[in-house]
Structures are given as structure tokens and as C-alpha cells.
């Protein structure tokens, strides 16, 4: 297997089909062979010249020009054509002329020249030897067949000439290696510039969304009057404030995803499939549309979603949402000059393949660009575009087991088709059974109250929970829920947000105030809503709810959501964080204040350090239960500080748990942190729930 992989990598390394190589083959190789026929035959009067061989070499050289005009020329077979051309026009022809001219001095020189040129085109030793030996062998066979009985009489010193040939090969590869190192450095510098430009460009949209929402919040807030109470905020205004906050959070999340996507694409990091889940295409697509940061209501109205052909697919939800974001963003960019144009998103359930189609009635894409759309760094006329988005979409779709394709007619439309494999009923049932089996212990002896005035929706939830052997009670509105809670103890409440008499927000508020009994005042509440997910998420958190499920309810989503809550409760019950002492080491005062605000609400005692050296001093002078250590800091960074902490002779100091914090998510940074002795690693911005769970896990 290693041998096969080495041969594959050698073929790849030795197949350098750059624009420069193609141009030199066309504009130097083609005319040279044609010109040299007349020069050697009629000026130098060499014994052997062949017009047929020269014309064949010229045509082969000119053939590679098609690759520049049409990048899809021969597709995956072009590398084979490329090596055939090199073998024919270099080692084959040059060796044929060397033999046919009985080792003429001129052709001895040209043979050395040929070897040097072949090295420059084939910079891998194994592929070079393959091309050289195949060409020479074919030339010898050609000579034997076309010159039967011919006697060769070389009058040059073969050992000395062999030394020159050997030195030519060695020197050629020394120069090739040197040029290669310089090229790598140049490419790295170019890639770094492209990366910086990519991040800067792609971050403008989410940062613009945050700026817009902050300005909207500022305008909505009542005026500040020192010493006087401000005017009360009505329900409509409060709803708008929550919406702006929710949109800002989505924009920040999207910006973080963009950075991760660009870094992963540049590093060619494999996509982790372990987080893929079975979910509804309609629900996930609707969530993506709801969360997209449209610049105006007019932009939002351009998107028309037909969810009738809903199907189940297995995807990473965040990745799928990003794919749709990218397609919507590109479409909106090109639709700006077309105010009446639309974007149609359609679900198609098929017997062999399921599809999500994203079609816009815009200007279309020229045919010559269609084959290059999914190439990294290729942009189809989008000013300031990076060309990374569609390349990443391609990788994501292939990781899902599907693919992405584009069809377009200039002046009429552009349609992207996301193809997904059909999930069989057996596969879906097996996945559901595995999910239930894996989480069943968390649901043992649990009693859950489902509060919903929609009987059909509550029946779906009851059916899912019954499979987990959960005791399920139901209430038709908030008031009935309060009565049930005052009579019984529940482990969790699933609460519809919109109900008559008393809605979910009001009921949650009364539960938290203890109006349903002090025993149930801290019961976990999961929101159940058909409204926009991203807006409800902010409101429900503020109302003291621990999760949110969208309608229609999917079995996998419900089980995963409740399992996370029960698992979190289980872990929290093992460690009470109140009174624990924690050191935050970060050179950013903003980061320290943000973390301190969150953690002090849990009753944790906080101290701060501005760098690694300061952190070590504070650890030496006082006892801490845990350290949150930023990786990148001046003077002494988190890696250096943790190394020195672990080398301390004080056993209490050397064993203190350290959680690394960094904006870098690549595997190398994580391994470096673990080698330094850190216990865990979290990527900024850190989710509060995950942070508390990690702290609880590591504090003894």
C-alpha cells in the first residue's frame, strides 16, 4: 500500500502542468522541432532527419495549447497526454537521432541538453527516470525495427560521457530542488496574501450586520435622562430589540464559521463526519433562510422557498447552512441590477437521489466559466470575491456523500443543484435505534411535561419520548402547566411558546418565580416553536429556558437536545462551582472582563493575569482550582507558561488544571497545547455552556 501511495505521489509531483510549462512547450518546442528539421538537413547535412517525426512532435506540442483555451480538455486524462508528449518530443526523438546519426558529436551534446530540459519539466526523480527510460527504450526499439542489420560505431569515450550524463542529472536535480524551494516560498507568500484578503473580504458582511444591528438597537433604546426614569419599552419595541440581538449573534457565529472555513480550505483539512446527523431538509433549509443576514426586506422577499418535497438527509447542519449562505450571497450579489429577479429554493425527493435546487433569474454564467466554478481561488466576475466559497461547498457536499453541480444560461438563469444520497427507512430506523440506545440511560425514571395547545404536535413528542420509556404528561396551555407542576415533580418541561390563555414565556417566568412550587422552580424548560429559530433562541435564554426545538419536531433533534440537557445536569450535579477559585490569563482586558462576568454569575471567585509570567506569579502566591490560559500573549505565551507550570517542584502548582483558549482551531495548535501540558483546549469565541461544562469537568 505504501509503494502504491508513493507512486501516486511521485506521479502528482512529477506532473507540473503550469501555464508557464504549457506556453514553453507550445512556443519553444513546437517551432523548434519544425525549424531544426530544415537546419540539420539542409545546413549541417546530417545523415538522418525525419520530417514525419518532426511534424508529429510539433503537433503534440501544439496540442497542449488546448488546455489553456479549454481547462476541461481531456479532463483527468490530460496528465497522461502531457507525459506522452514529453516522452516523444524529448528522450524518444533525441535518442532516435543520436542512434540514426551514429553518435554524431552534435547529437551527443543535444542528448545532454534533452536530459536537463526533461528534469525541469519532471521534477520528481522516479517520474523522470520513468519518462527517460521509456523514451530511450522506445527509441532503441524504433532503431532496431527501422534499421535492421545497421552497425553502430561510436568513436567517443563512453565512460567519460557517462560521467557527464550522470553529473548533468545530479546538477539538474540540485537546481530543480533550489528552484522548487524558492517556488514554495513564493507560493506560500502568495497564499498568505490571498488568505489575509479572503478573511478581510468575507468578514465585512457579518461585521456590517453587527454594526447595523447595534445602530438599530441604539436608535430603539429610550433616551438617557440622569436622575429620571426612562420611558417604558412596549412589546413591539422589545421584540425588535431581541431580533437585532439575535441577528448580531448569528452574524458573529457566521463570521467565526467563515474564518474556520477559509483556514480549513487553505490547509485542506479533512471534514469531520462524526458530527453529521439525520435531519429534515425543509426544517434545516428554512432555518438557514431565517438566519441569513439580508440587507433589507426587499432582499428577503427575493427568496422563494418551496418545501413540499421534504426529505431526510445526513449532514453537518452548520456546514449545510453555510453552503446555502454562500449560494444565496452569490445570487444576491449578481441580482442587484435586476430588481424583479427571484431566488427559488426547491426540495425534490427522488427514488435514487434527493435534491436541493437554488435557482436565480439573474444574468447567468458564461459557459467557459462553468467548469472552473468549484476551483479554489476562481471567481466568476464577483468583485472582491475570493473563490474559496464554492470550492469549500464542493468539499462539503462530497463529504455528505453527494455533490454540487451548476447549470446556467446567459441572460436567463443560474441553477445550483445539491445532490444528496437517499436515506433508506432501514438506515433511518437503525440510526434512531442507536441514538435511543446510546441515550436511554439518561432518560431512565424521567418524567416530562409537554405543554402545547396543538394536539398533533404534542402527540409527535409523546410518541418519541415513549420509545425512551419516559413518563409523559400533557397540558394544553400555560395555566394548565402551572397546575400540573404544582401537583407533581417533573424532570423537564417542553413548552410551546405561542398558546392561548398563557403563552410559554409567561408560564416560564411564573415557573422560575416559584409559582408552580419551589421544587420545580429550577426545572429545565425546552422551548417548542414554529417561529424563526434564531430570534426565539435569544428570547428563550433570557426567559430562563435551556433549549429550543423547532416544529415539526424531528425524533433525532428532540433526543439530542434533551440528552444534552440531562447530560449537562448530570455533570453539574457532580461539581458545585460556587466558591471555586479560577485564574484568567489573557492579554486582552475585554476578554478577561467578558469571561469574568459569565463565571462570577456561577459563584466562581476570579483573579486575572495579563500574560503567562504574571499568571505563574499569581499561581505561586495563591491556590487556584483552574486556569483559563490564552495561547497567544506577549512576553510569555500560554504554551511557555504551561510548560513551566508543569515543571514546577510544587505538586499542587504543577497539577493545577489548565484550559487553553485560542482563536486557532487547527490540529497542530491543539497538539502543541496538549504537549505543553494543558488539560483541554477551547476555540474562541467560547460557548458559555461548553465553558462551564469543561470547568466542571476539570475542577476536582
Please state the domain extents for the chain.
2-149, 277-423, 440-573, 581-698
Give 456's contacts (C-beta < 8 A, 6+ positions apart).
Answer: none
**Structure confidence by residue, pLDDT tens digits, 595-604:** 898 888 888 8
Mean pLDDT of 552-565: 83
Topology agreement, domain 277-423 and domain 581-698:
no
Task: Report whether pLDDT(317) > 90.
Answer: no
- Overall CATH class of domain 277-423: alpha beta
User: Strand, coil or helix: what is 51?
Assistant: helix
| pLDDT, averaged across the chain | 83
Task: Write out the three cell numbers for 191.
Answer: 497564499
What pLDDT sits at residue 384? 44
- pLDDT at 551 (0 to 100): 81
Give the tens place of pLDDT for each residue, 529-543. Answer: 887 776 677 778 777
3-class state of residue 62 by DSSP: helix
Least Cα distance to 25 among 54, 63, 53, 80 occurs for: 63
Q: Round to whole Å and give the CA distance between 244 and 532.
A: 13
Q: Report the C-alpha gap between 341 and 47 in whole angstroms.
A: 72
Query: With bands split at pLDDT 50, 70 and 90, how would you rate the model's confidence at 117?
Result: confident
Candidates 109, 114, 98, 110; CA nearest to 47 is: 98
In this predicted structure, the answer to whether residue 268 has a pLDDT above a threshold of 90 is no
Measured CA distances, 214 to 217, 225, 320, 595 (Å): 5, 20, 28, 21
Q: Higher confidence at residue 420 or residue 188? A: 420
Phi, psi of 264 (to 5 degrees): -65, -40
Whether 114 has a pLDDT exceeding 80, the answer reads yes
CA 195 to chain centre: 14
Each residue's pLDDT tens digit, 602-631? 888 999 999 999 999 999 988 899 999 999
| β-bridge mates for residue 314, sequence order | 278
Burial 498-535 (b: 16+ CB within 10 A, else e): ebeebbbbebbebbbeeebeeebeebbbbbbbeebbbb
pLDDT grade for 310, boundaries at 50, 70 and 90: very high
Q: Which of 77, 52, 53 is nearest to 66 (CA)?
A: 77
Other Cβ atoms within 10 Å of 667 Cβ, number:
10
Q: What pLDDT does residue 182 have? A: 53
Per-residue pLDDT, 664: 76
Summarised one tens digit per residue, pLDDT across range 334-372 is 888 888 899 999 999 999 999 999 999 988 888 877 777
pLDDT at position 254 over 80: no
Alpha-carbon distances of 502 from 357, 431, 509, rounded to whole Å: 41, 37, 11
Q: Band the pLDDT of 558: cuts 50, 70, 90.
A: confident
Instruction: Convert the pLDDT of each residue in 450-488 to its tens digit.
Output: 999 888 888 888 988 888 888 999 998 889 999 988 888
- Would you say residue 383 has pLDDT above 50? no
Q: Are 21 and 121 in contact (CB under 8 A)?
A: yes
Residues 6+ apart with CB under 8 A from 543: 505, 508, 509, 512
Q: Choose which CATH entry (3.40.50.2300, 3.40.50.300, 3.40.190.10, 3.90.110.10) describes domain 581-698.
A: 3.40.50.2300
Tens digit of each residue's pLDDT (9 = 90 or more) over 540-556:
877 778 888 888 777 88
Fold of 440-573: Rossmann fold (3.40.50)
With a CB cutoff of 8 Å and minimum separation 6, the contacts of 681 are 659, 660, 662, 669, 670, 673, 674
Q: Give, to the nearest 10 degrees, the angle between helix 105-121 and helix 125-146.
A: 140
Average pLDDT over residues 197-210: 63
Higher pLDDT, residue 389 or 650 = 650
**Global pTM value:** 0.56
Which residue shows C-alpha cell 433562541? Answer: 537
The two most distant CA atoms of the chain are separated, in Å, by 115
Q: Work out the number of other CB atoms within 10 angstroms of the CB of residue 87.
A: 23
**CA dihedral of residues 175, 178, 183, 186 (deg, nearest 10):** -140
Mean pLDDT confidence for 53-66? 92
CB 369 within 8 A of CB 380: yes
DSSP codes, 536-574: HHHHHHHTT--EEEESSPPHHHHHHHHHHHHHHHHHHHH
Band the pLDDT of 568: cuts 50, 70, 90: confident
Beta bridge partners of 659: 628, 680
The predicted model gives 173-195 an average pLDDT of: 57
Handedness of CA 166, 167, 170, 171 (dihedral sign): negative
The mean per-residue pLDDT over the stretch 162-182 comes to 68
Amino acid at each position: 500500500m505504501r509503494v502504491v501511495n508513493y507512486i501516486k505521489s511521485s506521479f502528482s509531483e512529477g506532473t507540473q502542468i503550469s501555464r508557464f510549462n504549457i506556453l514553453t512547450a507550445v512556443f519553444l518546442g513546437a517551432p523548434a522541432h519544425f525549424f531544426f528539421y530544415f537546419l540539420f538537413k539542409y545546413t549541417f547535412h546530417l545523415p538522418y532527419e525525419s520530417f514525419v517525426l518532426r511534424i508529429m512532435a510539433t503537433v503534440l506540442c501544439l496540442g497542449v495549447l488546448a488546455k489553456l483555451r479549454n481547462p476541461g480538455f481531456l479532463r483527468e486524462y490530460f496528465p497522461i497526454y502531457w507525459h506522452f508528449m514529453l516522452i516523444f518530443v524529448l528522450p524518444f526523438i533525441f535518442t532516435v537521432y543520436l542512434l540514426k546519426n551514429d553518435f554524431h558529436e552534435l547529437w551527443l551534446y543535444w542528448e545532454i541538453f534533452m536530459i536537463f530540459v526533461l528534469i525541469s519539466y519532471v521534477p520528481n526523480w522516479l517520474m523522470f527516470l520513468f519518462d527517460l527510460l521509456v523514451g530511450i527504450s522506445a527509441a532503441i526499439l524504433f532503431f532496431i525495427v527501422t534499421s535492421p542489420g545497421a552497425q553502430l560505431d561510436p568513436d567517443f569515450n563512453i565512460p567519460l560521457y557517462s560521467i557527464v550524463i550522470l553529473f548533468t542529472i545530479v546538477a539538474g536535480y540540485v537546481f530543480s530542488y533550489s528552484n522548487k524551494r524558492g517556488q514554495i516560498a513564493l507560493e506560500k507568500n502568495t497564499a498568505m496574501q490571498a488568505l489575509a484578503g479572503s478573511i478581510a473580504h468575507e468578514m465585512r458582511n457579518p461585521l456590517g450586520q453587527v454594526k447595523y444591528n447595534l445602530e438599530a438597537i441604539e436608535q430603539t433604546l429610550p433616551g438617557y435622562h440622569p436622575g429620571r426614569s426612562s420611558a417604558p419599552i412596549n412589546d413591539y419595541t422589545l421584540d425588535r430589540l431581541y431580533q437585532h440581538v439575535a441577528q448580531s449573534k448569528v452574524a458573529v457565529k457566521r463570521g467565526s464559521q467563515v474564518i474556520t472555513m477559509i483556514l480549513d480550505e487553505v490547509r485542506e483539512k479533512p471534514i469531520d463526519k462524526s458530527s453529521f446527523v439525520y435531519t429534515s431538509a425543509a426544517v434545516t433549509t428554512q432555518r438557514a433562510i431565517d438566519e441569513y443576514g439580508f440587507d433589507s426586506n426587499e432582499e428577503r422577499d427575493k427568496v422563494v422557498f418551496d418545501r413540499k418535497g421534504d426529505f431526510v438527509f445526513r449532514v453537518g447542519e452548520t456546514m449545510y447552512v453555510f453552503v446555502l449562505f454562500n449560494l444565496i450571497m452569490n445570487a444576491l450579489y449578481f441580482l442587484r441590477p435586476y430588481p424583479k429577479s427571484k431566488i427559488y429554493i426547491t426540495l425534490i425527493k427522488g427514488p435514487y437521489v434527493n435534491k436541493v435546487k437554488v435557482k436565480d433569474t439573474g444574468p447567468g454564467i458564461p459557459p467557459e466559466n462553468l467548469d472552473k466554478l468549484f476551483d479554489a481561488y476562481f471567481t466568476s466576475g464577483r468583485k472582491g470575491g475570493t473563490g474559496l466559497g464554492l470550492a469549500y461547498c464542493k468539499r462539503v457536499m462530497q463529504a455528505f456523500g453527494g455533490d454540487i453541480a451548476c447549470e446556467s444560461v446567459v441572460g436567463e438563469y443560474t441553477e445550483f443543484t445539491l445532490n444528496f444520497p437517499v436515506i433508506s427507512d432501514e438506515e433511518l430506523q437503525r440510526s434512531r435505534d442507536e441514538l435511543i440506545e446510546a441515550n436511554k440511560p439518561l432518560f431512565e425514571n424521567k418524567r416530562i411535561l409537554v405543554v402545547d395547545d396543538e394536539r398533533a404536535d404534542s402527540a409527535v413528542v409523546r410518541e418519541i419520548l415513549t420509545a425512551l420509556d419516559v413518563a409523559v404528561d400533557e397540558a394544553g396551555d400555560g395555566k394548565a402547566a402551572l397546575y400540573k407542576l404544582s401537583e407533581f415533580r417533573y424532570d423537564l418541561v417542553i413548552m410551546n411558546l405561542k398558546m392561548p390563555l398563557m403563552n410559554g414565556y409567561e408560564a416560564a417566568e411564573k415557573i422560575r418565580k416559584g409559582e408552580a412550587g419551589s421544587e420545580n422552580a429550577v426545572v429545565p424548560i425546552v422551548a417548542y416553536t414554529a417561529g424563526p429559530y434564531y430570534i426565539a433562541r435569544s428570547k428563550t435564554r433570557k426567559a430562563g429556558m435551556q433549549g429550543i426545538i423547532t416544529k415539526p419536531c424531528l425524533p433525532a433533534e428532540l433526543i439530542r437536545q434533551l440528552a444534552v440537557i440531562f447530560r449537562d445536569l448530570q455533570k453539574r450535579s457532580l461539581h458545585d462551582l460556587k466558591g471555586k477559585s479560577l485564574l484568567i490569563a489573557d492579554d486582552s482586558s475585554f476578554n478577561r472582563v467578558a469571561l469574568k462576568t459569565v463565571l462570577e454569575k456561577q459563584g466562581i471567585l476570579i483573579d486575572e493575569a495579563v500574560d503567562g509570567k504574571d499568571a505563574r506569579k499569581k499561581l505561586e502566591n495563591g491556590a487556584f482550582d483552574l486556569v483559563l490560559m490564552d495561547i497567544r500573549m506577549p512576553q510569555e505565551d500560554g504554551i511557555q507558561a504551561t510548560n513551566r507550570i508543569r515543571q514546577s517542584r510544587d505538586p499542587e502548582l504543577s497539577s493545577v488544571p489548565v484550559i487553553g483558549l485560542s482563536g486557532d482551531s487547527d490540529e497542530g495548535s491543539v497538539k502543541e497545547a496538549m504537549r505543553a501540558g494543558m488539560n483541554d483546549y477551547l476555540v474562541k469565541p467560547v460557548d458559555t455552556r461548553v465553558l462551564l461544562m469543561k470547568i466542571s469537568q476539570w475542577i476536582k
